[in-house]
Structure 1
């Protein structure tokens, strides 16, 4: 019994039959070290677990026996930023229900066959969809990886020491569902023509490797839309230039017609380059006339960087009180840093996009409600709960402080006046959402550490945290009485829209800067570099999305956003770096 005392999280999870468990923090190091660098055996006696995360533990060298046998319902296993390696022993499989496996940021050097992820026959991970092995020291992949995880959709190998892919990975039918393959920052020297057998591949990142040739067969990948080959040692100088300045479509066309020195094909490629250059000039000219035109079709994607809550110096946490369960039980939060709302009409577009999401995706706030806050005006941690209307006080946007009971009554009187003046039943503004509070004895609210109510969903948020042009760091919340998944879906859509707005703002600035630099060059001065503060390696300005933990009053994890499976829709035009 004494050996179990240092693990109160396990006792709580067992007693409350929890499906999610997060083990992290400074105290974890000592406990894992005392257990011989492994996880405690008692952990593998929680058969109801769907989500397990153990992160940031430099003492954890192997998961320990019993993982596969004791957690048959596990959907997500996150073991990032530990000390796993150099190999994995014992196997992680079979885990018949596992969909997400994150082993990033460890010290793995190899996953040898039959010793890495699980047996290949029958498949040890038959439902695995996402595998993250980034930030390790892998020199090779197991030859039977595809047979071990035949339903793999996303494979992240960024930041390892791989010099080639196993041949079996690209065999016909090996990975029929693989849509994203990231292997940037490795030592890859060649790419097999068999990659064309990845029929579902949409995104391929092979940047910063040692590739000298790109097989023409790559153009035969029927769904490939995003391709990055920058930072390689391509012998074809024309291709090397194109991968830095042209869209994926033009690069694939160049490969399709045969590349350099192929006569007719070269002419087509040059024509594609000219067409691409002309298109960029037209886009620069039209940006100021149509802000929406600078969206997902631009050549360079914007980066979204996800910072785990465990890596944040001051992570935001939302505690949920039990009384909100019968009122509006679901909430998801996120912190977004690096938003530029000062230029042009960026703030107006941001607020308009929020309104549009409320109308469409949120079904006029009946499915979910969004609230956005100036992070600098908030003191955490936050408490999400429910209060009687006569006790809940808030300073609503554009109004004076009022009790919720009085605010609702005032809005009802305004709605009646609107109907009389317009001689119709429809009303506008906040008045449209009053019916969502009908029959509620308590009203939901989000309260900061100062005791101020900063949000009263689904009606309004506080003047205290109002977004301004100078706001660059935001706290986002989505609440719902319907489901947690709708909260996540709406949050995904909101963050991706913010990425598009920031992208458009950056491109407008670059367009102006380009015009200025061209004027300088005309006057005999060389143009300055086209850079942006905080730009990523390809010049894109990243938004930083910090994870927010939603917990119960005892600290038990309820929701972690964004998790590995969130923001998946970003792949088409936003690069998510985790």
Structure 2
């Protein structure tokens, strides 16, 4: 076997590591001689990240890395993919965003385990049918050159819950879109859509739809899209937009205004009789609207090239016990391993708000030798570079001591920042670093069993929806742990068998740009949409 020309590859082989990140520091080497062929002999790799290089094509040998579960190739100059991509049967995450792709091989349909496909910001006009990619959950085709809707409207895609098609030139939405059973978020903004089929309202779980920036011929719908929430838009589409199939939804056809009014009155009466009972027999999450005294998070442009997405909120009136606090920390670890995909898709940070000075926060990025943080459970301050090297040293020592081939704890996430010229960080109002995602928080804002108010921070490299979904999951689990000062004990055994129902108070936090203009707020009205048998009611004030 040939020897590697890149030192990093030799180290990967010797230590039997399963993750490899190739950043901009290798761009010159790739330009001169391409990717070191030795890389494709590392068949135990399950995570490969090549970003911000001059790579123009993916070698055929990529198909040899049969154990890959994540292939991250964003921000390169890739114009084509080889057919051998179809051999990566274990692949779950494929990110080819911000490249120069003009086509995708049909073999992508062979990726039966694929759950996240990000092809945003390329030059694509079409993609193969994804009907066989039945585990697909997230699809991002934003900012391409599509004129026709991609072939994704199939009832077989039972896990597809997020689809971004914004920034294309799509002219029509097919009526078959109503067949997608799990779709919750659909972004069709900034296209050339003139009419919307009524079938769009048939999607049973759709909660967030964005149609802004289109050439809608229905002026009433155009006004609703610009001024109203998704629910009002969907209600109008259900009642007023023509169905291509000509079949009206049950309860909406041939009844006239009287029928609709009668139905609305019946619904209102039912709601009045049951709303109080529902609140009593459910876990309750109370969302407080952001106020002038609530700290905002100012996002600085520099972090957008490193880890651009963030949401925050505040949880008030906490009442931990030593046992419930331990369970809370264990819950965060579990979420990092599940919904956060081992911190590859998102990272959660929680802070004791009372330990932070009043004032707004800043989300930015700094060079590794400039960032300074006192990490969790450590007594001194480190630069980002010092911390990285220290953790790497500790990881190697621990691995040799335990005679293991893999890292553990936070050490196993070092590859996520390895080779980066900037490290993301969250600063308090005195410019102290309180968070260095995805690695660690600062000890100065460390949570404890005595914490009463908690700042929640979720960051991601993928998209804002991922942050929101993870934050939703964290708040749901926190509510059900029962860590609030208030809980409603219902004692009627005929109703709920004496079950204790919990409450949680959540305060919105705004994300603003450097000029103070609002970018987002969490939780918004379309967040915290808990479904199924979770017995949670959300009260917004």
TM exceeding 0.5: yes
Q: Which residue of 2 aligns with 1:227?
A: 209
Q: Which residue of 2 aligns with 1:399?
A: none
Match of 1:533 among 495, 516, 541: 516
- CA shift, 1:311, in A, is 2.9
Tell me, in whole angstroms, the C-alpha distance in 1 between the residues paired with 2:131 and 2:309. Answer: 36
Tell me, in whole angstroms, the C-alpha distance in 2 between the residues paired with 1:254 and 1:73. Answer: 47
Matched, 1:203 2:185: yes
Tell me, in whole angstroms, the C-alpha distance in 2 between the residues paired with 1:356 and 1:306. Answer: 34
- CA shift, 1:62, in A, is 1.1
Matched, 1:163 2:147: yes
SS of 1:108's partner is: coil
Going from structure 1 to structure 2, the CA distance change for 1:53 and 1:295 (only over 3 Å counts) comes to farther
- CA shift, 1:177, in A, is 2.1
Q: Which residue of 1 aligns with 2:124?
A: 138
Tell me, in whole angstroms, the C-alpha distance in 1 between the residues paired with 2:189 and 2:322. Answer: 39
SS of 2:139's partner is: strand
Larger Rg: 1
Tell me, in whole angstroms, the C-alpha distance in 2 between the residues paired with 1:476 and 1:119. Answer: 31
- CA shift, 1:45, in A, is 1.1
Q: Which residue of 2 aligns with 1:311?
A: 305
Tell me, in whole angstroms, the C-alpha distance in 2 between the residues paired with 1:78 and 1:356. Answer: 39
Going from structure 1 to structure 2, the CA distance change for 1:183 and 1:291 (only over 3 Å counts) comes to same
Tell me, in whole angstroms, the C-alpha distance in 1 between the residues paired with 2:202 and 2:433. Answer: 56
User: RMSD of the TM alignment (CA)?
Assistant: 5.5
Q: Which residue of 2 aligns with 1:151?
A: 135
- CA shift, 1:139, in A, is 1.5
Matched, 1:79 2:73: yes
Matched, 1:43 2:39: yes
Q: Deviations over 1:8-54 (max 9, x none)?
A: 111111111111111103x3111111224xx2221111121111100
Q: Does the 8 Å CA contact 1:110/1:141 hold for their aligned counterparts?
A: yes
For residues 116-515 of structure 1, the aligned pairs below 5 Å read: 118=107, 120=109, 124-142=110-128, 144-147=129-132, 149-166=133-150, 168-173=151-156, 175-259=157-241, 292-294=286-288, 311-312=305-306, 349-350=314-315, 352=317, 362-363=326-327, 365=329, 372=351, 380=371, 493=474, 504=508
- CA shift, 1:238, in A, is 0.9
Tell me, in whole angstroms, the C-alpha distance in 1 between the residues paired with 2:522 and 2:325. Answer: 26
- CA shift, 1:202, in A, is 1.3
Q: Does the 8 Å CA contact 1:454/1:464 hold for their aligned counterparts?
A: yes
Tell me, in whole angstroms, the C-alpha distance in 2 between the residues paired with 1:196 and 1:107. Answer: 32
Q: Does the 8 Å CA contact 2:85/2:108 hold for their aligned counterparts?
A: no
Tell me, in whole angstroms, the C-alpha distance in 2 between the residues paired with 1:303 and 1:269. Answer: 44
- Give me the TM-score of the superposition, normalised by structure 1: 0.53
Tell me, in whole angstroms, the C-alpha distance in 1 between the residues paired with 2:325 and 2:446. Answer: 24
Tell me, in whole angstroms, the C-alpha distance in 1 between the residues paired with 2:529 and 2:299. Answer: 13
Tell me, in whole angstroms, the C-alpha distance in 2 between the residues paired with 1:106 and 1:253. Answer: 38
- CA shift, 1:445, in A, is 12
Tell me, in whole angstroms, the C-alpha distance in 2 between the residues paired with 1:73 and 1:306. Answer: 37
State the aligned residue count: 380
- CA shift, 1:214, in A, is 0.3
Q: Deviations over 1:315-350 (max 9, x none)?
A: 9xxxxxxxxxxxxxxxxxxx997979xxxxxxxx55
Task: Identify unmatched segments of 5+ residues in structure 2.
Answer: 244-252, 269-283, 291-295, 334-348, 382-408, 412-424, 426-431, 436-440, 448-454, 460-468, 479-503, 532-541
Q: Does the 8 Å CA contact 1:126/1:151 hold for their aligned counterparts?
A: yes
- CA shift, 1:293, in A, is 3.6
Q: Which residue of 1 aligns with 2:4?
A: 4
- Give me the TM-score of the superposition, normalised by structure 2: 0.56
Tell me, in whole angstroms, the C-alpha distance in 1 between the residues paired with 2:299 and 2:84. Answer: 31
Tell me, in whole angstroms, the C-alpha distance in 2 between the residues paired with 1:18 and 1:496. Answer: 33
Q: Does the 8 Å CA contact 2:97/2:121 hold for their aligned counterparts?
A: yes
Match of 2:103 among 110, 129, 138: 110
Task: Identify unmatched segments of 5+ residues in structure 1.
Answer: 277-289, 297-301, 316-334, 341-348, 395-443, 467-472, 478-487, 510-531, 544-568, 574-578
Going from structure 1 to structure 2, the CA distance change for 1:453 and 1:165 (only over 3 Å counts) comes to closer
SS of 2:518's partner is: coil
Tell me, in whole angstroms, the C-alpha distance in 2 between the residues paired with 1:357 and 1:306. Answer: 37
Tell me, in whole angstroms, the C-alpha distance in 2 between the residues paired with 1:154 and 1:55. Answer: 20
Higher alpha-carbon deviation: 176-185 or 371-380: 371-380
